[in-house]
Amino acid sequence: MSETIRWGILATGGIAHAFTKDLVQHGHTVQAVGSRSQQSADAFAAEFGIPTAHSSYEGLVADDDVDIVYISTPHPFHAENAELALNAGKHVLIEKPITLNADEARRIVELAAEKNLLLLEAMWTRFLPHVVRIREIIEAGTLGQVRSFMADHTQKITDDPTHRLNALELGGGALLDLGIYPVSFAAHLFGTPQSVQASATFRETGADAQVATLFRYADGQLATTLSASNTKGPNVASILGTEGRIDIDAVWYSPTSFRVLNSAGEVTESFESQITGRGMQFQAEEAERLIAAGSTASEILSPAESVSIMETLDEVRRQIGLVYPGEPSAS
């Protein structure tokens, strides 16, 4: 492999446009794109100045000039697309959630380990500057013992039943598209919950419209999350400790500001994100750093943690009775 890490973009939807724009803007090498149609691949390649456009995903992963494949297809296709790329010897950055369920996640994690290839979930929030600083503050003990986390990811999205986010067959719904953010962040803080409580309301399509969760952890920490696709909330988050708290402003999971307050309510630190672009380049930097170091797992978000997060989401789904087409019925 060359010293420069060369990216291949698998699928040409909206999130692929956002990611590729940040890659190009920040000097990363985007070598090829693959789509199910040559026309779509050509248009995407022309937009971003990409040298090679493939009319199939198979053509993309077979490209010898591609080192890592970014997968941005709808959730139900993540596992099969990841298997395609891994079996072709490519490293993989795969959009969140890593798969539709934990069984699929375990399967691709095992395959990546067998092939000695990087598999990284594209939870871009983990790698953003404000979250890096929050980790430093927590590790320094500034908050004392961190005891709780609360966050919402709530948007007013179209009621069109044919829209991807409302289509059950595409894994649409509030939980996997929106709830994945606070659920993943809670895991980042506390690990795997000891107990899960969940409640939801649904659209006529069967997709979940609102999901509320309460997680309890082995040492008594609590995390509450709310995701919704039919109502817009504040989209803020708070991390509470015995000696202080961090209040993260809207939109908390994207580049934003936060304040650290001590137990007397006094602001002891303020942080403002100063970045160019959307901020998706930071996860690419982590992937490239790992590949260059010969590592197949990030300490910030390991494949094992991605599996654990999917297990938590599976339990939420079991409790609210959310089953996607082709899956076994919930018990």
Each residue's pLDDT, cut to its tens digit, for the chain (331 residues) gives 458 999 999 999 999 999 999 999 999 999 999 999 999 999 999 999 999 999 999 999 999 999 999 999 999 999 999 999 999 999 999 999 999 999 999 999 999 999 999 999 999 999 999 999 999 999 999 999 999 999 999 999 999 999 999 999 999 999 999 999 999 999 999 999 999 999 999 999 999 999 999 999 999 999 999 999 999 999 999 999 999 999 999 999 999 999 999 999 999 999 999 999 999 999 999 999 999 999 999 999 999 999 999 999 999 999 999 999 988 764 4
Question: Which CATH number applies to 129-274?
Answer: 3.30.360.10
- C-beta separation of 99 from 108 below 8 A: yes
Q: Parallel, antiparallel, or unpaired: how do β-strands 68-71 and 6-10 relate?
A: parallel
Which helix (H) or strand (E) covers residue 292, if one does?
helix 281-293
- C-beta separation of 6 from 66 below 8 A: yes
Can you list the pairs that 208-213 forms with residues at least 24 positions away whose Cβ atoms lie under 8 Å? Answer: 208/173, 208/174, 208/175, 208/320, 208/322, 209/173, 209/174, 210/174, 211/173, 211/174, 211/175, 211/179, 211/316, 211/320, 213/179, 213/183, 213/316
Q: What is the value of pTM for the model shown?
A: 0.96
Homologous superfamily in CATH for domain 6-122:
NAD(P)-binding Rossmann-like Domain (3.40.50.720)
Residues sharing a CB contact under 8 Å with residue 139, sequence separation 6 or more, in sequence order? none
Which helix (H) or strand (E) covers residue 288, if one does?
helix 281-293
Q: How many CA atoms lie within 13 A of 323 on its CB side?
A: 9
Residue written as tokens 């970045």?
275
Distance CA 170, CA 164 (A): 6
φ, ψ of residue 202 to 5 degrees: the values are -130, 155
Helices then strands, each counted (H, E), the chain: 10, 14
Distance CA 255, CA 182 (A): 15
50: tokens are 């990409």
Distance CA 109, CA 120 (A): 9
Res 330: pLDDT = 42
Question: Structural domain boundaries of the chain?
Answer: 6-122, 129-274
Distance CA 211, CA 160 (A): 19
